[in-house]
Chain A
Amino acid sequence: MTIVPLPTTEPADATPAAAADPRLPAAGRRRRTWRPRTWRRRWLGLLAGAYLLVLTVACVGASWWAPADPEFQDLAHPLAGPSSAHWLGTDRLGRDVLSRLLYGGQVTLIAVVEAVTVFAVLGITFGVLAGYFGGWLDRSVGWVADLLLALPGIIVLLMVLSVFPGNSTATMIVLGVISCPLLLRVTRGLTSSVRREPYVQAARLSGLGSAQVMRRHVLPRLVGPIIVQLSLFAATAVLVQAALSFLGLARPESEGPSWGNMVGAAAEVTSEAPWLAVPTGGILALTVLALGLFGDALRDARVDRIQPAFAPRRRRVTRPADPTPPSADTGLLSVSGLTVAFDLPRGRATAVRDVSFEVAAGEIVGIVGESGSGKTVTARSLLGLLPPTGQVVAGSAVFDGTELTGLGERELARVRGGRIALVSQEPLSGLDPVFRVGSQLAEVVRRHQRVGRAAARARAVELLRTVQIAEPERVARLYPYALSGGMAQRVSIALALAGDPALLIADEPTTALDVTVQAEILALLRELRDRRGMAIVFVTHDWGVLADVCDRALVMYAGEIVEQAAVEDLYRSPRHPYTRSLLAANPHRAAVADTLPTIPGSVPSPAEWAVGCRFRPRCDLAADECAAGPIPLVPVGAGHRARCIRHEQVVDR
């Protein structure tokens, strides 16, 4: 028996689902995902609700539709199996099992109502008050709640029963009292978070009284979670009542049938009549199951479930129909025709289409674009680090003679960290919070080099020194939470360097940092390139940063490269209207007190991508032929390409 109902996870506050796929096209991320699993759960929930309703009606009206008097003893037919006269058979005194179950259900029903009422009244009242008023009230309520949760529940119930022998009501009331902290915690947390919301604070400031705020703003938000908790607690109450009745402590058989004492009676005759244990225990299990499923379905109806992280998904790369043979004269990395798609509930969405570029050894190539342009997806797909729903559907990426697309996890693990390393946008969340900086570094060092523990430790400290961390020995002993953002980014660069990679993918490495730290990190990256000859693919949305570190850059828009050139050429003579508008909108270039020019409209989501030019709706040079068909990326100068059929006009403006 579970006196303490299993706490349920409430994914309402934290939604890691969105974090799981960092750069899903905006449309895919916002939409609620109805997967088959969810549908099945909803069906189960409906079924469970229907079962509970039928059961309640059947038990309440037992005196009308029970086929026999529950106490009538058909002594000629004891322990009979199911028959047309007795649908569920008879017990050892020949009493009809079905009728006894229906009447016994009334005991369960009353017990549930008693326990749930006490549970609800206490849990809601004290939870809302504590969450709303906070302060000493919150602290003392919390203290009492902790105390109640630590009570050995059944012993308290046994004490109650030894004082009030056989009194089911007293037990259920006490059960409600000692369990109420479970509900109280939920209502308290929600109330205090609702109370802190700006619109509620505004309502309070405008003079709405506490009682009204609670009634209008707080309580409506609590209804869903409360029902979930009530349904789970009802399951507990059913089990507790049955167990006590089974032990003969509450509602013994002499007082009439109950589900618990019927299992007890069946236990005495299992060898002669094993059947008897089936309907008696079965109805209990079914009812508890139904309450559990019902609660689960209600919760699912409110929030999307946490998506399970199917870690190493099977790689289903469709090789391009006409794979470009890796040519020997290309640089370190050669990407051609790379296309990445995400499997969304509404079908497959292409997030990145036909991306081709090259990176030479020691070169820093920027990928620039707005959020949702596909730059991060492009970068991460090279390492096979797409979210579970994403995959490379066409194209190739040859790194130093190795085709990266279609590599298995095992081969990828050899490339990752050792040949190609990644530095991410959020340095702190990229570090495992429970291991020391030094041990995380040493682990990566040992993965890529055959060295002993002590040597790996020494190398870890040396790496920290390489990324210009003062007191590297001390920092190696720190846990990630103790690092500042800039320090954490240096540490993650050190982690990236641990395998001595030939290529570093820096995914917005300075976005989360403040300006001075940003400049230091950029200087560090440049220095690393100069000293080690390490190539860098630098993903950013910041033109200032781009100009600062990159040799060449790709401009991405709506999943396509729209322009690529040396950074200087891009700045001096952009040949795509999008690049030109972006440069105009760049705050680094705008004069003080000028209104910042913006590009009208927004980046289209994959569902809205046109066949022709994807920038057309926002372009001031748009013409009819722009919509006619796919626009090719054409050479417009030395090492300069643009995806615009009117690129000559761009220069003139």
Chain B
Amino acid sequence: MIRSALRWLLSSVALLFVVTALTFVLVSLAPGDAARAILSSQSSTYTQEQYAAMRHALGIDQPLPVQYGHWLNDLVHGSLGTDLFSGQSVAETLRDRIGPSLSIILGTVVLSGLVGTWLGVVSARRGGLPGRIVDVVSLVGFAVPNFWLALLLVELLAIRLAWFPTGGYVPLTQDPAGWLRAIVLPVVTLSAAGVAFVAKQTRDAMSEALSAEYVTMLRARGLPERAIVYKHALRNAAIPVVTLLGLLLISLLSGAVVIESFFSVPGLGAQAVEASGTHNLPVITGVAFCFTVVVVVANLLVDLSYRWLNPRVRAR
């Protein structure tokens, strides 16, 4: 137990280092730099002295490892550097944006998990028509670009029928009903791929579990079908599916970036897209850091549930 905890800690720290160090390497490769970007956003001309002064003020005249050391030092003190344009700390900029992102991502995980598992179990048991429906759903969910799906859903449900707002976000603490209405379309859009993924994986895992010898033996002992499917087979099928949920979450993070931009949800992803357009690297680094933390936590949860589900691993 201690060994695996240590291993998790080690790989998590490594991941955080790699992601953040990667940003710094990329910055050094960039043709222009932040100083130039800020100066040219303030006025069309600037002197060499102004440029040097700005570089010094931003700390980017120092060697890369030193800059990275500073950034890490900032991190320890709870800051993620300074937003190049607003001048406030990146942590400040990002703080309010975590809520919307988490709402959408967790909403999608819950919806895809429930609907996908249900579809997968039904199709594994029945074959035939339900099986074909899952086939089609997973193909469509895989193939339809989420921004296009968002476009169609907004046109139909937000503009024509006006059931949901076309975008924006309302904090849960402010107005729970408004929050729900605001996240429905982003969550449904993102869930298309999630449901497809979970349904397919569940179906494969369930088919395998249901054709295992122990299932025949459970039947031979007269256990009711419901217990065999939902207690025994599903519990076994969950083991491979759970390990893939980590991958699903990582791909949801990517999807969320596009979908937040589309629905103008003030989340981390939309912020990253905006920052990418303005070369605001400290902000992107900050978002990368936040996302990596989400991935690290998700991996931990996946690992823990894998252990909890699989007695063999638990014993180790």
Contact = CB atoms under 8 A, between A and B. Distances in A.
Interface stretch (B64-72, B74-82, B91-99, B212-220): B212-220
Contacts of B235: 432, 434-435
Contacts of A256: none
A433 B214 contact: yes
Nearest to A417: B222
A281 B276 contact: no
A200 interface: no
Given A154-B257, A249-B273, A422-B217, A159 B124 contact: no
B275 A162 contact: yes
A316 interface: no
Interface in B117-132: 123-128, 131
Interface in B82-134: 123-128, 131
Interface stretch (A325-333, A443-451, A535-543, A594-602): A443-451
Given A150-B15, A159-B26, A285-B144, A383 B220 contact: yes
Interface in B211-231: 211-225, 227-229
A464 interface: no
A18 to B, nearest CB: 10
Nearest to A436: B311
Interface stretch (A98-106, A287-295, A398-406, A615-623): A287-295
Nearest to A291: B143
Nearest to A313: B127
Given A162-B280, A246-B258, A432-B236, A385 B295 contact: no
A499 B279 CA distance: 72
Interface in A129-184: 146-147, 149-156, 158-165
B254 interface: yes
Interface string B143-177: 11111100110110001000000000000000000
A103 to B, nearest CB: 19
Given A149-B247, A277-B151, A435-B232, A161 B276 contact: yes
A515 interface: no
Interface residues of A, number: 96
B292 interface: yes
A443 B284 CA distance: 54
Given A162-B284, A431-B214, A444-B223, A2 B255 contact: yes
A321 interface: no
A48 B167 CA distance: 36
A551 to B, nearest CB: 24
A235 to B, nearest CB: 7
Q: Which of B18, B151, B152, B196 has the most CB of A within 10 A?
A: B151
A492 interface: yes
A495 B227 CA distance: 16
B301 interface: no
B258 A247 contact: yes
B208 interface: yes
B222 A447 contact: yes
A280 B152 CA distance: 12
A435 to B, nearest CB: 7
Contacts of A20: 211
A284 B145 contact: yes
A424 interface: yes
Q: Which of B255, B258, B280 has the most CB of A within 10 A?
A: B258
A433 B247 CA distance: 25
B72 to A, nearest CB: 18
Contacts of B279: 162-163, 165
B284 A158 contact: yes
B192 to A, nearest CB: 11
Interface stretch (A117-125, A304-312, A348-356, A635-643): A304-312
Nearest to A11: B204
Q: Which of A7, A248, A309 has the most CB of B within 10 A?
A: A309
A285 B236 contact: no
Contacts of A492: 217
Interface stretch (A87-95, A191-199, A264-272): A264-272
B295 to A, nearest CB: 5
B210 A385 contact: no
A6 B217 contact: no
B312 interface: yes
A653 B128 CA distance: 57
Interface string B1-45: 000000000010011001100110011011000000000000000
A285 B143 contact: yes
A368 interface: no
B218 to A, nearest CB: 7
A310 B127 contact: yes
A582 interface: no
A525 interface: no
Nearest to B19: A151
B143 A163 contact: no
B155 A496 contact: no
B309 interface: yes
Interface in A256-279: 263-264, 266-267, 270-271, 274, 277
20 contacts: A3-B250, A9-B201, A9-B204, A19-B212, A149-B250, A152-B254, A152-B292, A155-B19, A155-B291, A263-B145, A267-B151, A286-B143, A306-B211, A309-B215, A383-B219, A416-B222, A426-B213, A430-B213, A432-B214, A433-B312
Interface of A: 1-4, 6-7, 9, 14, 16-17, 19-20, 22, 146-147, 149-156, 158-165, 235, 239, 242-243, 246-249, 263-264, 266-267, 270-271, 274, 277, 280-281, 284-286, 288-289, 292-293, 306-312, 383, 385, 409, 413-418, 421-422, 424, 426, 429-436, 443-444, 447-448, 479, 481-482, 492, 495-496, 498-499
Given A151-B19, A151-B250, A292-B143, 19 more contacts: A2-B254, A7-B244, A19-B212, A155-B288, A159-B22, A243-B258, A248-B277, A267-B262, A271-B155, A280-B148, A285-B143, A306-B204, A308-B123, A383-B219, A413-B219, A422-B220, A424-B220, A432-B236, A447-B222
Closest 8 CB pairs of A and B: A417-B222, A281-B148, A309-B210, A154-B254, A152-B291, A289-B143, A417-B221, A422-B220
